[in-house]
Amino acid sequence: MHPNEKLIETFYTAFQNKDPAAMIACYHPEVEFCDPVFTGLKGDRAGAMWEMLARRAKDLTLTFGGIFADDQRGRAHWEATYTFSETGRKVHNVIDAEFSFRDGKIVRHQDRFNLWRWAAMALGLQGMLMGWLPPVQSAIRKKAAGNLDRYLSSRDKPAQ
């Protein structure tokens, strides 16, 4: 197994175990992450997004496979099933990931999935009927970015 394949496997195994520290350890300090919801996350924000998702995931089940990597690039297929906390609706998200590597770490991570399909599962009828519209997708992204900002703000506050 190529070392970068092992790195991808370590990343998803850590996610299965809801271990964001181990996930973040797979990332280069200059990592860039994007998916249809979280766009343009860099460095600590990318790691914090996984930390937020792992800590909030109460009933997450995750499977992964199709891992391939060489010295420069990699890919994987993964699927996550969970309850979307804002609506209580069950989501089964099917994701294809692409990676780039530097210094033995993931420096670029892009996840691809159908945002309209996700919106239909997570938001119900409204998502099914309107989830394909750019303004609705933009609102989903804005809400997710706000959730991440609030998470970062609460995480960075000193304990009292």
- The answer to whether residue 74 scores a pLDDT higher than 60 is yes
Tell me the average pLDDT across 96-121. 97
- Using CA atoms, how far apart are residues 11 and 152, in angstroms rounded to an integer? 21
Q: What is the pLDDT of residues 109-140, one digit of tens each?
A: 999 999 999 999 999 988 888 888 888 899 99
Give the pLDDT of residue 56. Answer: 84
Q: How far is CA 37 from the centre of its chain?
A: 9
Percent of the chain with pLDDT over 90: 80
Q: Rounded to the nearest 10 degrees, how much is the dihedral formed by the CA atoms of 40, 69, 106, 99?
A: 0
Locate all alpha helices (DSSP H) within 29-91, ordered by sequence.
44-56
pLDDT of residue 125: 86
Q: Indicate whether 158 pLDDT > 90.
A: no
pTM over 0.85? The answer is yes
Number of other CB atoms surrounding residue 84 within 10 Å: 16
pLDDT at 134: 86
Report whether pLDDT(156) > 70: no
Average pLDDT, the chain: 93
Percentage of the chain beyond pLDDT 70 is 97
Q: How far apart are the first and last CA of the chain?
A: 47
The 8 Å CB, 24+ separation contacts for 62-66 are 62/12, 62/15, 62/16, 64/9, 64/12, 64/16
pLDDT band of 62, cuts 50, 70, 90? very high
